[in-house]
Amino acid sequence: MIRIERSREVGPAIFEYAIPSLQICGRSRQPLLDGCRSIKRAVDPTELAGARAGVFREGRPGPDISCLVLKGAEVTVAEPSNGRIRFAKFTECDSSGFKASDASLNEIPHYMSAPGDVS
């Protein structure tokens, strides 16, 4: 079993986690599922067939929760406004929407200029 070590809470329901065998660490509301995605990115998926990952906490003899790595990498927890929490298919975030497409967005606003700057 691949160990995902959950440590301190760094924000409301956000935990630090580490996967020592792969030298991976991160922060997550879902350390098991995000850990599975990190493992899948770091290891050849053919090597992961049947591999399990589990979330361990200090002082506990076994995992709090575990799953097959490839299955955990495919899902996320959906918390819709109607309150019915469930597992849902995970989709990677498209970061293209975060890139500035307008060149004017890269200019420094006049109110942020240094004193004496005449540009």
Report pLDDT digits (tens) over 38-77: 999 999 888 888 899 999 999 998 999 999 999 999 998 8
| Residue 82 CB burial class (10 angstroms; 0-12, 13-18, ≥19) | exposed
Q: Which residues contact 74 (CB under 8 A, 6 or more apart)?
A: 89, 90
What is the share, in percent, of the chain residues with pLDDT greater than 70?
Answer: 78
Percent of the chain with pLDDT over 90: 56
- pTM of the full predicted structure? 0.73
Mean pLDDT, the chain, integer? 83
Please name which of 25, 20, 52, 55 lies closest in space to residue 38, comparing C-alpha atoms.
Answer: 25
Where do the domains of the chain lie? 2-92
